[in-house]
Structure 1
Amino acid sequence: MSSKAKFSLLCWGALMPLMVVILFPYATMLSTALKRKDEIFQFEISWLPDGLYLGNFVELFVNRGFGQAIFNSIYISVGATLVSLLVALPAAYALSRLKLPGKSTFRTYLLITQMISPIVLIVGLFRLFAYLGMINDLNALVFAHSAFYMAFAVWMLQSYFDTIPKDLEEAAWMDGASRFASFRRVFLPLCLPGIAVTSLFTFVNSWNEYAMALTILRDGSLQTAPVRIAFLTGTLYETEWNIIMAATLIATLPVAIVFASIQSYLIRGLSLGGVK
């Protein structure tokens, strides 16, 4: 066996305990979601269900309205991500390429804003959206999430933009391209890894947000997936673990799909700033 193969086996052996810890919750969710209610509380615990039972998922989508909750979460998360990027991209570009007074102070301010928990501003946000008539409006949560995660997006994108050589843009300017044209045709294609990482973090944060969704969206048909899962824990004076695990498993799928679709960009984006 070559030294390279030995090193690979050593690395996999070292990672196995970590993989077990990471995959164990998902294995538990899948096992419980495919079991009938009476199978969960058996005296002899079994990982594998007696049969492939999909009744828990049917119950969620037919009787519990979980499909609408998933749609609401997707609408809010995608909308918040797009709005954040729409503002963060030109802001981060300006911080990276233009000479602005107080730029370093502004970057520090952006970082400090991430230390404030959104729950501190819940009352103020509720009164603001109530004044605007946007209670029970999904767009209210789109704007609220994008406002909270926009500072992080600007800070992260600006760090990545600093790693891109200015010579590429200057060459485009010499060929007659305007600053906007060089930004769109030359700069943005090089920034896709950083944009992918920022989009993923913004999407995941918006998807998992609970407090603002619970406060602003009062109508049951407008609840997001995290809020609906929390409400499942108190139904019928019992904890229906089979239903909860099925809902939790479904709620993880959109994040997994987004992660898998941008994985190639994500690997490159996570190393931003490493090489200049």
Structure 2
Amino acid sequence: MSKLMKSLLIWLFLLPIFAITLFPFYVMATTAIRPQTEVFDQSWLPTRFAWENFVEMWTAVGFGRALANSLYISTLATALTLIIAIPAGYALSRYRFAGRTGFRRFLLISQMLSPIVLVLGLFRVLVLLNALNDAHVVALLYAGFNTAFAVWMLESYFSTIPRDLEMASWMEGASGFTTARKVFLPLAMPAICVTALFTFVNSWNEFVLALTLLRSEENYTLPIQILAIVSGRFSVDWHLVMAAALCATLPVAILFAWMQRYMLRGLTAGAVK
């Protein structure tokens, strides 16, 4: 079988998967640019592109404020997670100490706990501490829930980096900190980028904790702000909801596209040692 025929067969197999995956995004995009009177039409394309939906959504829904809140909380949570996970992953991959195996198992088991299970307990604790409706507290909680995954992922990648590179740097007179900064971290950058990306996306899309802990509209993140367009209304402006959902999806899609090469390297690293 020729190479061209193999490629055609592969694409024929992948096309239904692409269609199923992209269909919800197609519906979201076409609804976002439809005039309000055509939202429930069964046509595949609108009669005109209603770009004013995005202007109305931005001003009427408070999308800009929610976007800024989501960016701040997600970025802060990602930074806090990496600050903890990078040293922890390095220690697990390079040192042998009592309780190391138990700690690795604890990290794995902790991934089975959903934030929904803990949300009521966290709510009561934060009420006692008078820490509700605080974006910094939400970012700290996001970092806590993502740290175990980040440590597990980084430790697996760090173990694939040869120790000989660090030993050669030490023999040249470099300190441990200099070796980590100039030798180890550049080699580990693909895994760090992938871990940061997953942490950012998890924080960006998180809904339950934000809905429970953020009480004022000034602190709402994007998922909560989009929910506010739908809940408590007799009629839903679906063109505005879909416009907001489309704009909320774009930053993550752009981030994925920009970091694609790091993702491929980071996700496949460690498969062969």
Q: Do both proteins adopt the same fold according to a TM-score greater than 0.5, normalized to the shorter chain?
A: yes
Residue 149 of structure 1, aligned match among 143, 146, 150 = 146
Give distance in 1, aligned partners of 2:44 and 2:66.
Answer: 29
Q: 1:123 offset after TM fit, Å?
A: 2.4
Give distance in 1, aligned partners of 2:28 and 2:163.
Answer: 49
2:216 corresponds to 1:219: yes
1:229-244 alignment, distance < 5 Å: 229-244=226-241
Residue 194 of structure 2, aligned match among 186, 192, 197 = 197
What is residue 117 of structure 2 aligned with on the other side? 120
Q: 1:35 offset after TM fit, Å?
A: 0.5
Residue 165 of structure 2, aligned match among 156, 164, 168 = 168
Which residue type is aligned with residue 225 of structure 2?
R
What is residue 7 of structure 2 aligned with on the other side? 8
Residue 108 of structure 1, aligned match among 105, 110, 124 = 105
| Partner SS state of residue 126, structure 1 | helix
What is residue 69 of structure 2 aligned with on the other side? 72
2:96 corresponds to 1:99: yes
1:248-259 alignment, distance < 5 Å: 248-259=245-256
What is residue 34 of structure 2 aligned with on the other side? 35
What is residue 25 of structure 1 aligned with on the other side? 24
Which residue type is aligned with residue 20 of structure 2?
V
2:242 corresponds to 1:245: yes
What is residue 228 of structure 1 aligned with on the other side? 225
- Structure 1 stretches lacking a partner, 5+ long: none
| Partner SS state of residue 233, structure 2 | helix
Give distance in 1, aligned partners of 2:4 and 2:266.
Answer: 28
TM-score by length of 1: 0.95
Q: 1:3 offset after TM fit, Å?
A: 2.2
Mapped contact 2:76–2:139 kept (Cα < 8 A) = yes
| Partner SS state of residue 5, structure 1 | helix
Mapped contact 2:35–2:48 kept (Cα < 8 A) = no
- Structure 2 stretches lacking a partner, 5+ long: none
1:177-208 Cα shifts (integer Å, max 9, x gaps)? 11111111101111111111111111111111
TM-score by length of 2: 0.96
* Greater mean deviation of Cα atoms: 199-208 or 81-90: 199-208
Give distance in 2, aligned partners of 1:87 and 1:201.
Answer: 15
Q: 1:130 offset after TM fit, Å?
A: 3.1
The count of aligned residue pairs is 273
Which residue type is aligned with residue 265 of structure 1?
Y
Task: Using the aligned pairs only, state the percent identity.
Answer: 51
Residue 210 of structure 1, aligned match among 192, 207, 211 = 207
Give distance in 1, aligned partners of 2:49 and 2:75.
Answer: 33
Q: 1:126 offset after TM fit, Å?
A: 2.2
Q: 1:133 offset after TM fit, Å?
A: 3.4
Moved >6 Å (runs of 4+): none
Give distance in 2, aligned partners of 1:12 and 1:163.
Answer: 34
Which residue type is aligned with residue 266 of structure 2?
G
Give distance in 1, aligned partners of 2:219 and 2:258.
Answer: 27
Q: 1:17 offset after TM fit, Å?
A: 0.7
Give distance in 2, aligned partners of 1:220 and 1:196.
Answer: 32
1:70-108 Cα shifts (integer Å, max 9, x gaps)? 111111111101100001000000000012111111101
Q: 1:235 offset after TM fit, Å?
A: 4.8
1:146-171 Cα shifts (integer Å, max 9, x gaps)? 01100110011001111111111111
